[in-house]
Amino acid sequence: MPSRSRAYAALAGAGCLWGTGFLLGKIALVELSAPHLILYRLLLACVGFVPVLLIQRPHIRREDWPTVWLAGIYGIPLVYLIQFEGLARTTVAHASLMVAMMPILLGIAGAVVAHERLTIMHWVLLFVSAAGALLIATGATVGTRASTGPTLLGDALVVGSLVAGVGWVLASKRLMNRYDPSSVGAFVTLAGTISLAAWVLVVNGQPPARLTPRVWAALAASGLLATTTSNLLWNWGVSRVPVSEAGIFVNLEPVVGTLLGVTLLGDRLGWTGVVGGVLIVGAAVAVTRRGGHEGHGVGETEN
């Protein structure tokens, strides 16, 4: 159907835009600390969400605001600060491949929190993905400066940010049962950015304003494209196809990020990184494909 094809195109666009985030962040980290980078990125993303709120004018019930703030704290300060502190200590290619574990972690959360039943094959794929992450981590040089290569600490921080991301997904999914997904994304981003700004200004101080045009361009692209636009595309697409099918497009993020890191920044994976990346991406694709065969999953919307 044409509408489903458009939905797939939107999901693919979101996955590709997410994949540029690590490269754009690495460019900005030359002149900014990780906290100041994230603050600029999310402030610009909020600017992009303003038209959505002006057009839709949604109203959040009072009892749902605690969930909005919880999702915002998980999805903004925790995810971004931890992830980009990791990026400052590893390579774009390593960070992108570690992010491919996200669908696997969501599977674990579904089994533990939502009491969803996982098959033996699902558990096998979980262990395959963990083995891939271990190969990538052991291939990193412990204590190496981020400018010369990946570090074990950097890879671990990226994985830690994914755990916070699971909390963001679970909290946001509850809100999407009551409100339009685009409105949820806008409110959660705004709430999270307020929390982020308060933390960064107290702990790290005011961000520098004198930046090169190259860094400002990277910040604008990461905020308006890799954050706002990708969020809107993803929410629009996932509202029109089963979540189990949409999950496949998440895997475009590590693929695009890794290709950009290797081709533009000269990142080197080594054989352990290549094998680990293949295991992680392969396991994630297998899980989402099996989900598509076994049912439509939670969150599917009939149109």
Return the number of other C-beta atoms located less than 10 Å from residue 124's C-beta. 12
The answer to whether the CB of 36 falls within 8 A of the CB of 222 is no
Q: In angstroms, rounded to a whole number, what is the distance separating the alpha carbons of residues 92 and 257?
A: 7
Q: Which residues contact 275 (CB under 8 A, 6 or more apart)?
A: 132, 135
**pTM confidence score:** 0.74
Residue with tokens 């839709």: 56
Predicted pLDDT at 229 = 94
Predicted pLDDT at 218 = 95
Q: In angstroms, rounded to a whole number, what is the distance separating the alpha carbons of residues 192 and 68?
A: 9
The answer to whether the CB of 116 falls within 8 A of the CB of 173 is no
Stretches in the chain below the pLDDT threshold 70: 1-2, 92-93, 96, 100, 110, 114-118, 133-134, 136-149, 242-248, 251, 269, 284, 287-303
Answer positive or negative: Cα dihedral of 263, 268, 270, 273: negative
Q: What is the pLDDT of residues 245-289, one digit of tens each?
A: 666 677 677 777 777 877 787 777 678 778 877 887 787 677 656
